[in-house]
Amino acid sequence: MRKNGKSFLCLFTVILGSILTLSGQTAQTILQRVDEHNSGSQAPADIQMTMIMKIHDGNTVKTRELKAWTKNIHDADDWRIMKFLSPADVAGIGLLVLAENQMYLYLPEFRRIRRIASSTKKSSFQGSDFSYHDLETLDFSGSYHPTIMDQTENSWRLELLRKEGADRPYAKIRMTVDKETYMPLSMEMYDEDGDLWKKMNNEIQKVGQYHIASRIRIEDKKKGSYTTLKMRDIEVDQGIDDEVFTQRFLKRRM
C-alpha cells in the first residue's frame, strides 16, 4: 500500500506539473508573458504618443502635456524619451531613458543635461506621483519572484517579491493580470516595511494588433496625492529613427 501510495503521489505530481506547463498557468510563465506584451516580443517595435498628465494634490490640479517615444530593443532595456510641451513653466523639460543606469534629464532653464543618479530615482518626476524608477523599463520576471495568490475567470492575482540584489524600490508588488491580454490591470506596491506605498490602475486599449495602457492612475498612499496619464494620438511601428533617442534630440525645441 505504501509503495502504491508513493507511486500514485509521484504520478499525480507529474500530471499536475504537465497540466500547469501546457496551460501556461505557472506564475513565472504568466510574468514572463506580461514582460513580452509590455516591452518584449509581443510589444510594438516603437510607440509615439501624446500624454496628458494631471497631478492631483489636495484641492490643486496641475495639467501637463507631453510627447513620448518608445523603442523596443530586443533582449535589452527599451529606449524612451519624454518631452513636456506645456504649460510654459515646464515646456522643454525632457527625460531620456536608455537603460537602468542611463537616465538623463534636460532642464532648458539651465541649458544642461544631468544624469539621474540611482540614489535619486525614488524622487518625484517633475512633481508627479511617478518616480524616476516608475518610468524605467521594468523587466518584472528578472527582478521579482512571482506566486499566484488567486484568480478569477478573467484575471490572475500575483504576488511579486523582489529578488536579492535587484535595484527596485518596491519590496513587494501585488499585480492583477488580464488573462486575455497579459497586461497588468492594477498594481499595489509595498515598501521595505511591508506598508502599502503606491497603487496603480491601468485602462487597456487595442491599437492595431497590440494592447497598450491608454490611461494610468498612480496614487501615493503616503502623500495622499495621485497622478493620471491619458494617452492619445497613439501610433505604433512607425520606424522611429534612433536619432530621436539621443541627448541632442532631448535638447531640441518642439
Residue linked to cell 520606424: 239
Average pLDDT over residues 144-148: 97
Residue 100's pLDDT band, with cuts at 50, 70 and 90, is confident
Question: What is the pLDDT at residue 151?
Answer: 95
Residue 99's pLDDT band, with cuts at 50, 70 and 90, is confident
pTM of whole model > 0.75?
A: yes
| Residue 163 pLDDT exceeds 90 | yes
Give dist(CA 250, CA 67) in Å, integer. 11
| Residue 80 pLDDT exceeds 50 | yes
Phi, psi of 227, deg, nearest 5? -130, 140
pLDDT digits (tens, 9 = 90+) for 9-38: 444 444 444 334 334 479 999 999 999 998
Any domain includes 10: no
Residue 138's pLDDT band, with cuts at 50, 70 and 90, is confident
Any domain includes 18: no
Any domain includes 30: yes
Give dist(CA 106, CA 161) in Å, integer. 34
The enclosing domain of 79 has a CATH number of 2.50.20.10
Any domain includes 11: no
CA of residue 169 relative to chain centroid, distance: 13
Q: Which amino acid is at 140?
A: F
The whole-chain average pLDDT of the chain stands at 90
Question: What is the pLDDT at residue 4?
Answer: 53
Any domain includes 31: yes
Cell of 204: 487597456
Average pLDDT over residues 64-82: 91
Domain that holds residue 114: 25-251
Any domain includes 133: yes
Phi, psi of 241, deg, nearest 5? -70, 145
Any domain includes 233: yes
> Does residue 44 have a cis bond before it (omega within 30 degrees)?
no
Domain count, the chain: 1
Any domain includes 16: no
Phi, psi of 117, deg, nearest 5? -75, 155
Give dist(CA 250, CA 100) in Å, integer. 18
| Residue 2 pLDDT exceeds 60 | no
pLDDT digits (tens, 9 = 90+) for 202-250: 999 999 999 999 999 999 999 999 999 999 999 999 999 999 999 999 9
